[in-house]
Structure 1
Amino acid sequence: MPLTLSPCTPPDAPAFTTCFLATYTLQPRHITTYASTPYAAQHAHYLAAFAAGIESQSHPTATLESHYLKVTDDVTGEWVAYAIWQYLPKGYVAEEDRFTEVKEEGEEGGMPEGVNGAMMKDFAGMTRRLRGTHPKHERRGAAGMLIRWAFPFADQGSKPCYVDGSSVGYALYKRCGFTVDVGEVSVNLDKYGDQGFGVHRWVAMMREPVEKPEVEQSAGEGDGIGGPS
C-alpha cells in the first residue's frame, strides 16, 4: 500500500504522540527514563511538548527551525512513521532557545512526575531530534523517506546533515548516505536504573552536501536557467 509523507499541523499532535510512544516505550533508554512514570503522565507530557513544537515550527521568533513530519498509509490513513528535522543556525545555543528549554518537574511544561531527572539532565539534547516507525508498519520504507526528506534542502544550502545512529539505525543511515562517523557516545544505563540494560552506544554520523553539476546551455536555446536532466 502506498505511503505519503507530509508536514504535521497542530491537529496532528495527538496522533504524533501516540505513534511516538508506540515506538519508544519498549526502548531501554525510554524505560530507564520513565520507569517510575505512569503511561498517562508520559502521554500528557509528550502531547503538550509535541503540540507546542508543531505550533512553534513556523513561529517568527523561534531561533531553531523545526520540521515535524509524518508518513501515513494512503488506504487506511494510519500513521506509519514520524520524524523531527531541525536546522541549527551558526552560533545556535540550545540553552538560550525558549522553545527547546528542558524545564524542571513541577513547572508548567516541565517533566512529568517520577521522571529520572539525572538521565534527562545528562542527555536532554538527545530528545530533540526524533525519528520512529510504528512497530506494525516496519520495513515499508517509511524511515528512508523521512531521512531523505532533508537532503534537497541541505544540498541547496550546502549544509551537512547529522544524526545519532543507534545499533539498530546505524546501517540504515549508512545506506542513506551518512558515511562519515564523527564521534560516539556510550551510556551505561545501569548508572540510572537497575533494569540491567548495560552500555548502549550511539554514533554521531554526518552526510556531506551533494553539489549538483551545473547544466550547460547551448547557444541559441534561450536565456532561461537550466534545470536538472
Structure 2
Amino acid sequence: MLNPQLEVSLLKPEEAEQYMRIRHEVFRPTMNKIFYSRGEPSQKTLDRVTEETRDGIINKGIFYLKCTDRSTGEMIGGARWRYAKPKEEGARERTWDEVEAGFTIPEPYDESNPGLIRNLHRLLNTNKRAILGNRPYYTLVTCVVLPQHERRGAGSMLVQWGCERADEAGVEAYLEASLVGAPMYARHGFKPVKQIELDTKKFGAEENEQFILMLRPAKADGTP
C-alpha cells in the first residue's frame, strides 16, 4: 500500500546536488567504503558526482527519481533506473556491440583505489553479461532512503516505479542487492539468481563484500 504522504517523481537537473548528498549519506557505512576506500571524498569529488548525475538526466536518458515528503517538501530518498534497450526501433534484442558499450569502467575518483573499482565493475559486468545476454531490461542501479525516514514505504515506491515501467515494456528488471536489501526487493517479485563476492580484503577491508543478483521476470501481457 502506497504512503499518501510520499510522492515519487523524476529528479530535476538542478536537484542533482541534493540527490548526491542523500546518496552519500546513506552509502557512508557501506558502498562508500568501496567507492572512496582511501578516505572521505573531497568537494571536488562530490562536485563530480553531482555533475555526473546532472549529465545522466540531461544527456544519457537515465531515470533519476526522488521521493518527497508532501507535508514538508523534503527529499527523503532517491533512485537511479536505466533502461537497456535496442537502439533500433522495434528490435527485440540489443546488438552485442550495444551490450558491450554498456560495460565501460568509470574513471576512479581521487579517493578510490583503482584496482578495487576495476574489480567491482568487472565482477558486476561479467555476471550481468552472463545472466541477461543481449536481452533488453530495466536495471535498478541505486536506491537510497535517509535512515530517519526508513520504514515509511519510500524504498518500495522507488522500486515499484521501475517495475511498472518494465512491465509496460514487457522486459525483465535486474539489480544487485546487498544481503540486507534483498528481502525488500523480493517483495516486488525479484528472485535471487546468484550470490557473488567482491574480494575487498586484499585492499584492506575486514570482510569481503557480498551481493545477491536478482531478476524480476518480464510480464509481457501486463498482468500482475
Tell me the TM-score range normalised by the shorter chain: 0.7 to 0.9
Cα shift at 1:22: 0.8
Cα shift at 1:192: 1.8
Contact 1:187–1:200 (Cα < 8 Å) also in 2: yes
Distance 2:7 2:28 in 1: 25
Provide the residue aligned with 1:226 in structure 2: none
Provide the residue aligned with 2:209 in structure 1: 200
- What is the Cα-based RMSD across aligned positions, in Å? 2.4
Question: 5+ unaligned residues in a row in structure 2: which ranges?
Answer: 86-93, 126-139
Q: Secondary structure at the match of 2:37?
A: coil
Cα shift at 1:137: 1.1
Provide the residue aligned with 2:49 in structure 1: 46
1:113 matched to 2:115: no
Distance 1:103 1:94 in 2: 16
TM-score in terms of structure 1 length? 0.75
Distance change in 2, residues 1:57/1:32 (3 Å): closer
Distance 2:38 2:110 in 1: 8
Cα shift at 1:101: 4.8
1:83 matched to 2:95: no
Provide the residue aligned with 2:25 in structure 1: 22
Q: Cα deviations across residues 56-87 of structure 1 (Å, max 9, x unaligned)?
A: 244xxxxxxx2111101112111111111111
1:69 matched to 2:95: no
Provide the residue aligned with 1:135 in structure 2: 147
Question: 5+ unaligned residues in a row in structure 1: which ranges?
Answer: 59-65, 105-110, 214-229
Contact 1:189–1:199 (Cα < 8 Å) also in 2: yes
Cα shift at 1:91: 2.8
Cα shift at 1:95: 5.2
TM-score in terms of structure 2 length? 0.77
Q: How many residues align?
A: 194
Q: Secondary structure at the match of 1:129?
A: strand
Which sits farther off after the overlay, 121-130 or 69-78?
121-130
Provide the residue aligned with 1:147 in structure 2: 159
Distance 1:103 1:172 in 2: 28
